[in-house]
Amino acid sequence: MSDRGNGRPAGRDPPVRRGQILELEIKGLTHDADGVGPAGGLAVFVPRALPGEVVRVRVTEVRKNHARARLLEVTRPSPRRLEPPCPVYAECGGCQLQHLNARGQLEYKTGLVTDALRRLGGLDGVVVRPAIGMEDPWRYRNKAQFPVAAGPGGRGLVGGIYARGTHRLVPVNECLIQHPLNNTMLQVALELAGRHRIAPYDEDGHTGVLRHVLARATRATGEAMAVFVTRTRDLPAARDLARELMARVPQVVCVAHNTNPRRTNVILGERTRLVLGRPYVEEVLGGLRFRISPTSFFQVNPAQTEVLYSRAVDYAALGGGETVVELYSGIGAISLFLARRAARVTGVEVVPEAVRDAVANARLNGVANVSFIEGPAERVLPELAAGGVRAEVVVLDPPRRGCEPRVLEAVGRLRPDRVVYVSCNPATLARDLARLAGLGYRVREVQPVDMFPQTAHVEAVALAVREEGHRR
Ligand SMILES: C[S@@+](CC[C@H](N)C(=O)[O-])C[C@H]1O[C@@H](n2cnc3c(N)ncnc32)[C@H](O)[C@@H]1O
């Protein structure tokens, strides 16, 4: 009889069945923050259960190598367990860790990064610093994008967050990790859209109009933006809607309309137009002013972004004379932070609107030693490397999927002394750092930053240094 790696002989019936009630001891947390405990050699995943706890669960799904279960009762609670303050926490898919105290969350996130480096990157012995948390880890998110559905009895509209792993909307009136202004904007926008009888989008039939409402608040300037995302090319009563929203929520300086006609989970479509006000909001970070357009990426937690960027600047160790290339530069935020200490910074970004913002931001801050190239990093960087461009420091801040191998190979050809890698996904960070190690870059240190308290997500910044004598 062979062993399947889970301690259970092959060919036997699973040790648990669907609907069964079990008592389990939870041994750890998965990367989705589910508790995990063994039952007859099978790993059972239990959302909202914590390590060290003894729990009573009902099995909901049995697979070959694992099972899932719903928490019924915590018979021996962890000393780190908290009463979650959010009234919809049990159903909502937005947060996964409100029931774990702040220290527990930070240790979990440090562990996520350490574990990914070791398991997925084969990078043993890298120094991973303890995750940096927030003093007040609530109401930090500057961006909300809520899907829209019909209200109770088909009257009006509601917005909310999908239940985990589903497209079932959990209506949310006050999200506790959102900036309060985002909650207000969403409620008012939905009330007004309902009054104008704008039909909610129906995913099954691909009918209806309003798919999402996006709200973006700022911390320093107080300005706010609302974006209505529709399936249709038209947003009915657009100008009235915008005028009424601005009258009710005076912080709103920009109302935009985005059209997304496709059957897709991606929220924004390709066409965005301004309905009323300015085409951007302004935010201040680290003494620099940033203009942010409706479709440009901007980090969601401004306080922790300052922490993250200053660590990235420290890792870049600039003395004033260096040339820096930042790939995936968005609206130029990190580039502008770096430009204060470098001779020259070049940002590379694929979204044209973000590049326009970046150029405007350089001007707004009187920074003359930065420039931005519009295009995909996987095309632009190999071109720069082939053109003989030199850089002492390369900064990478890719989306969740990480860097294409072509990008990292081009980094290797550019031969910077230091690579600073900012990442929101420990798995792709580990993979890419391992690739950089193959190109002669030793990972010196990784600093996780808790950009997303109460959730299972973590941001991290890593420093990799070129090893002397490495041959390509
Ligand atoms: C995680 S964000 C980082 C943005 C910026 N560094 C910041 O801190 O605000 C990733 C950025 O990469 C851009 N992007 C995505 N794919 C890209 C590609 N293939 N080439 C260049 N930029 C890309 C996105 O538009 C987004 O602005």
We report the CATH number of the domain holding residue 123 as 3.40.50.150
* Confidence at residue 14, expressed as pLDDT on a 0 to 100 scale: 78
Does 324 score more than 90 pLDDT?
yes
Q: Which residues line ligand 1 (CB under 6 A)?
A: 297-299, 328-330, 333-334, 348-351, 354, 376-378, 397-399
Place of tokens 């300005």: 223
Strand 127-128 relative to strand 441-449, pairing: parallel
Integer angstrom CA distances of residue 460 from 121, 178, 430: 15, 22, 11
Among protein residues, the one whose CA lies closest to atom 20 of ligand 1: 376
Average pLDDT over residues 66-75: 97
Please, what is the Cα angle at 460 between 455 and 463, to 5 degrees?
175
The verdict on residue 296 lying in a domain is no
For the chain, give the percent of residues with pLDDT over 90: 94
Phi and psi at residue 105, to the nearest 5°: -65, -45
Looking at the structure, tell me whether residues 188 and 218 fall in a common domain: yes
CB of 250 within 8 A of CB of 315? no
The pLDDT value recorded for residue 5 is: 41
305 CA: nearest ligand 1 atom? 8
Residue 12 has pLDDT above 80, yes or no: no
Query: What's the pLDDT score for residue 15?
Result: 87
- Please report whether residue 227 resides in a domain: yes
Tell me how long the chain is. Answer: 472
Together in a domain, 458 and 311: yes
In ligand 1, which atom is closest to the CA atom of 297? 27
Supply the DSSP string of 301-330, one letter for each residue.
Answer: -HHHHHHHHHHHHHHHT--SS-EEEEES-T
Whether 175 is in a domain gets the answer: yes
Residue to substitute in 290, 297, 309, 384 for testing ligand 1 pocket (most ligand atoms within 8 angstroms of CB): 297
Domain count, the chain: 3
Tens of pLDDT, residues 424-470: 999 999 999 999 999 999 999 999 999 999 999 999 999 999 997 66
Q: Are residues 353 and 436 in the same domain?
A: yes
Of 291, 325, 350, which is best to mutate to test ligand 1, by the most ligand atoms within 8 angstroms of its C-beta?
Answer: 350
The answer to the question of residue 180 being in a domain is yes
CA separation for the pair 433, 121 (Å, rounded): 7
279 and 349 in a single domain? The answer is no
147 plus 131 within the same structural domain: no
Mean pLDDT of the chain: 95
Partners of residue 156 on adjacent β-strands: none
Question: Does residue 90 form part of some domain?
Answer: no
Q: How confident is the model at residue 10 (pLDDT cuts 50, 70, 90)?
A: low
As a whole number of Å, the CA-based R_g of the chain is 24
C-alpha–C-alpha distance, residues 466 and 472, integer Å: 12
Q: Side chain identity at 256, as an amino acid letter?
A: A
Whether the predicted pLDDT of 270 surpasses 90: yes
Instruction: Just list the catalytic residues.
Output: 424
Q: For the chain, report the end-to-end CA distance as a whole number of angstroms.
A: 47
Q: Per-residue pLDDT averaged across 146-161, rounded?
A: 95
Ligand 1 atom, smallest distance to 377 CA: 20
Asked if the structure places residue 471 within a domain, the reply is no
Burial of 319 (0-12, 13-18, 19+ CB in 10 A): exposed
- Considering the domain architecture, whether residues 173 and 321 belong to the same structural domain is answered as no
Domain extent, residue 14, equals 1-81
Question: Are 49 and 33 in contact, with CB atoms under 8 Å apart?
Answer: no
Token pair listed for 455:
């959730």
Over residues 64-82, the mean pLDDT reads 97
Distance from Cα 292 to the centre of ligand 1, integer Å: 14
Q: What residue type is assigned to position 372 of the chain?
A: F
* 282-314 pLDDT, tens digit each: 999 999 999 999 999 999 999 999 999 999 999
pLDDT > 70: what percent of the chain? 97
Same domain as 461, residue 316: yes
pLDDT tens digits, 361-395 = 999 999 999 999 999 999 999 999 999 999 999 99
Residues 37 and 112 in one domain: no
- Name the band, by pLDDT with cuts 50, 70 and 90, for residue 2: very low
Q: In this structure, what token pair is assigned to residue 212?
A: 């999402």
Question: What is the tens place of the pLDDT at every residue in 106-132?
Answer: 999 999 999 999 999 999 889 999 999
| CB burial readout 4-27, b (16+ within 10 A) else e | eeeebeeeeebbbeeeeebebbbe
Of 430, 431, 438, residue with least CA distance to 411: 438
| H or E segment and range at residue 239 | helix 238-248
Token representation of residue 252: 């709103």
Q: Tell me: pLDDT of 28 over 80.
A: yes
If asked whether residues 392 and 271 sit together in one domain, one would say no
